[in-house]
């Protein structure tokens, strides 16, 4: 497992007691990179809640099809099969069935968003911008699966929570930025969206306009500098689950106040993680991400 050294404090609230390791992209969504001792228990409870909504309520069918089992509370031995229930809608009779992990047909939704409002000088707002929702499914696989159960039709409930999904993107971007760039020389912008109750997500979180800017698998996260109206910001691009299943999102994580400090800190972290990645690749783990593309 590749990891980043502890920043010595909770990255969300600055507490220094009882720090726990933090997966930057949650393990329950396929993330591998860990930021050591970086979240206090209270913040972990808050981030755990929206991570769970995204992983369990929104993306359970995709996790099932990909065989992703990771999660904070899951310390038991990984199951090899999942149990489901078939209901006869005429008689109401219920039958249970089992399906092998990784054999569940793919089914999920992705959402395209406009770029973060700050880039286009839009005011912060707690309203959701215009979104494009895509349903993606392995149609043949679904049909075969339903037939194998002896059923003739199916219903899949799909929960999509705008707030939880954005909180998750904010958390990923903030933890990655803080892990690489530290806390000196940056004014961080995302904690109010993660643990502070602000819902002005679309100002700092959005999609990308230019398809050539999409992350290339296996990279699932990347830190960049971005100039906005003469000021320099840290920006994180990320996608979850990898393999181009999801659009690339861009999240503006902080305003840089001392570029030299930030640069030095990032260079050290990059070197460390590059070494660590080499080890993980040797162990046939997938690469966790990339670093700084644009140099200001
Ligand atoms: Zn905290």
Per-position DSSP letters for the chain, written without gaps between them: --EE---SS-TTT---SS-EEEESS-GGGT---EEEEEE-HHHHHHHHHHHHIIIIIISHHHHHHHT----TT--SPPPSEEEEEEE-TTT--EEEEEEETT-SPPEEEEEE-PPPGGGGTPPP-SS----EEEEEE-HHHHHHHHHHTT-S---------HHHHHHHHHHHHHHHHHHHH-STTEEE--HHHHTS----HHHHEEE-S-GGGSPPTT--EEEEEEEETTEEEEEEEE-SSSTTSS--EEEEEEEES-HHHHHHHHHHHHHHHHHHHHHHHHTTPPP--B------
Lowest mean pLDDT among 10-24, 30-44, 70-84: 70-84
Under the banding of pLDDT at 50, 70 and 90, the label for residue 291 is: very low
Q: How far is the CA of 182 from the centre of ligand 1 (A)?
A: 15
pLDDT tier for residue 278 given thresholds of 50, 70 and 90: low
Lowest-pLDDT choice from 53-67, 190-204, 268-282 = 268-282
Q: What does the pLDDT look like over 63-122, one tens digit per residue?
A: 877 877 765 555 566 677 778 888 888 888 888 888 887 777 888 888 999 999 999 999
Q: pTM of the full predicted structure?
A: 0.86
The pLDDT of residue 285: 37
* CA–centroid distance, residue 212 to ligand 1 (Å): 36
Task: Compute, in angstroms, the gap from residue 43 CA to the centroid of ligand 1.
Answer: 4
CA of 4 to the centre of ligand 1 (A): 18
Q: Residue 13: is its pLDDT beyond 90?
A: yes
Domain range list for the chain:
3-282
**Ligand 1 center–CA 137 separation, angstroms:** 38
Tell me which residues have their CB within 5 A of the ion that is ligand 1: 10, 12-13, 15, 40, 43
Ligand 1 centre distance from Cα of residue 141 (Å): 43
């Amino acid at each position: 497992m590749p990891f980043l050294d502890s920043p010595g404090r909770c990255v969300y609230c600055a507490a220094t007691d009882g720090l726990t390791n933090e997966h930057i992209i949650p393990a329950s969504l396929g993330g591998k990179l860990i930021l050591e001792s970086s979240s206090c228990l209270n913040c972990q409870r808050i981030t755990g809640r929206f991570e769970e909504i995204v992983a369990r309520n929104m993306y359970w069918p995709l996790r099932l099809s990909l065989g992703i089992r990771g999660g904070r509370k899951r310390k038991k031995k990984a199951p090899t099969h999942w149990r489901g229930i078939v209901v006869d809608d005429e008689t109401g009779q219920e039958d249970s069935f089992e399906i092998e992990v990784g054999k569940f047909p793919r089914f999920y939704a992705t959402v395209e968003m406009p770029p973060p409002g700050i880039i286009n000088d839009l005011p912060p707002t707690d309203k959701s911008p215009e979104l494009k929702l895509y349903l993606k499914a392995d149609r043949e696989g679904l049909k075969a699966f339903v037939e194998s159960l002896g059923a003739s039709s199916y219903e899949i409930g799909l929960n999509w929570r705008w707030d939880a999904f954005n909180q998750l993107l904010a958390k990923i971007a903030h933890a990655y930025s803080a892990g690489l760039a530290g806390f000196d020389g940056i004014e961080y912008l995302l904690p109010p969206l993660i643990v502070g109750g602000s819902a002005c997500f679309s100002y700092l979180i959005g999609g990308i306009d230019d398809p050539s800017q999409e992350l290339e698998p296996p990279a699932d996260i990347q830190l960049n500098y971005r100039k906005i109206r003469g000021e320099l910001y840290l920006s994180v691009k990320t996608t979850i689950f990898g393999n181009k299943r999801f659009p690339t999102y861009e999240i503006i994580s902080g305003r840089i106040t001392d570029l030299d400090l930030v640069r030095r800190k990032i260079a050290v972290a990059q070197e460390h993680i590059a070494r660590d990645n080499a080890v993980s690749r040797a162990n046939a783990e997938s690469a966790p991400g990339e670093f700084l593309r644009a140099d200001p």
